[in-house]
Structure 1
Amino acid sequence: MSVKEQKKAQRKWVKEKQKMMALRSWEAEDRKICEGLLSLAAYRRAKTIFCFVSMPEEIDTDFFLQQAWKDGKRVVVPRCGQKGVMAAYEVSSLRDLEAGQYGIREPKAYCALVAPEEIDFGVIPCLSCDRKGFRLGHGGGYYDRYLEGTNFPTAVICREELLLEETAIEPFDTQMDWVITEKEIMSVKKGHFEK
């Protein structure tokens, strides 16, 4: 089986599992995951934070974003463009967001573009990931393209039940520095071992 076929099978497994999990309330777990992010020294040191804005089926990042503003952080979020291209824009509150491509909340047109070099820490989404920090996305390649050539530390957040034994990876797949679930904080990439 090719890597692409493996990824397709893994996405199918995750989506089936998500359907079975859909009726549960995830508020307490999501809060615990966000608290895990907030506990990282990399977050505390960072002046500018990159974070995805969650969809209903994803881990709710609104609490994390609001806490980052309270902590005086500069917050940037992604906006997707054509052909897998993504850019980051500064937002000052949830009111700076509107439904964009794919129904994802994105920064409004007046939000300022922020260069990747200005970002100190990133929170990256996944459908699933493994304990080594390799993520399984939706397959659009937006995050892998965006992260290519950046050097800010990254944390991927995932529900414990959706973790994979091993993610099928391709040469362009980017390894994250931390994997955070509601049960643990895993420091996985060499060079970022402090919590």
Structure 2
Amino acid sequence: MNKKEIRKDKIRTLKKLSGIEKKAAEEKIYANLFRSRYWQQASTIALTMAQEFELNTLPIVEEAWKTNKKIVMPRAKKERIMDFVLYNEHTPMKISSFGLLEPDPALQPIAKNAIDLVVVPGLGFSKEGYRIGFGGGYYDRFLADFLGTKIALVLKEQQIDLWDPEPFDIPMDALVMEDKVISTADFQTGK
């Protein structure tokens, strides 16, 4: 399958998940995330507002606020780039041209080097940490020179065998799954 076919297949699969089954899986992923060193060591965390079929990110936002961590949300810009804006309960949000909830375009972005951890969205993930996103390339461009930690939250339905990543594909540092957190470096270096 090519990336386009994988995207369609994963969206279809995720939309079919029952609410009860999905919520149980999400709870396990949240627990693994909050126990992980990646979460524990981060002060400023980049996160998206999930679409209905994606893993719900609101409990992550709430946990961050309870533990005095800052959340920043992405905003798509021209030429397929994005920046991040500090997010709290008073942040004005708008629906983007993609139909996603994003911070108001008038807000000041946060510096990229102020972000410790990016929770990268995607549709499919290999154990090597490569992802198939939604096809816009926004995260690949943002992560190309990002020096912090990159992780993904992965439902079992999102796990896929390795496909041939393209030169611009950026692997995650870790995958947080229902049953474990894996460092992808072990797979990337052949350990």
TM-score, length of structure 1 as denominator length: 0.86
Note the C-alpha offset of 1:167: 3.4
Per-residue Cα deviation, 1:67-108 (whole angstroms, up to 9, x for no partner): 111111121110112231111000112754332231211112
Aligned to 1:150: 146
Separation in 2, partners of 1:76, 1:133: 22
* Residue identity opposite 1:31 in structure 2: E
- Pairing 1:184–2:176 present: no
- Pairing 1:100–2:107 present: no
Paired residues of 2:75 and 2:105 also in contact (CA < 8 A): no
> What secondary structure does 2:178 align onto?
coil
- Which of 110, 113, 125 does residue 114 from structure 1 map onto? 110
Q: 1:70 to 1:112 in 2, by over 3 A?
A: farther
- Which of 60, 65, 84 does residue 64 from structure 1 map onto? 60
Aligned to 1:40: 36
* Residue identity opposite 1:107 in structure 2: P
Aligned to 1:11: 7
Note the C-alpha offset of 1:116: 0.8
Separation in 1, partners of 2:163, 2:27: 25
* Structure 1 runs, 4 residues or longer, greater than 6 Å off: none
Separation in 1, partners of 2:49, 2:161: 26
- Which of 23, 28, 40 does residue 24 from structure 2 map onto? 28
Q: Which moved more, 1:165-174 or 1:136-145?
A: 165-174
- Pairing 1:85–2:81 present: yes
Separation in 2, partners of 1:87, 1:128: 23
TM-score, length of structure 2 as denominator length: 0.88
* Residue identity opposite 2:11 in structure 1: K
Note the C-alpha offset of 1:18: 2.8
Show structure 1 runs of 5+ residues with no match.
Answer: 191-195
* Residue identity opposite 1:167 in structure 2: W
Paired residues of 1:177 and 1:187 also in contact (CA < 8 A): yes
Q: Which moved more, 1:113-122 or 1:99-108?
A: 99-108
* Residue identity opposite 1:18 in structure 2: L
Separation in 2, partners of 1:44, 1:138: 28
Aligned to 1:139: 135
Separation in 2, partners of 1:80, 1:189: 29
* Residue identity opposite 2:129 in structure 1: G
* Residue identity opposite 1:170 in structure 2: E
* Residue identity opposite 1:51 in structure 2: L
Show structure 2 runs of 5+ residues with no match.
Answer: 187-191
Q: Over aligned residue pairs, what C-alpha RMSD do you find?
A: 1.9
Q: 1:43 to 1:60 in 2, by over 3 A?
A: same
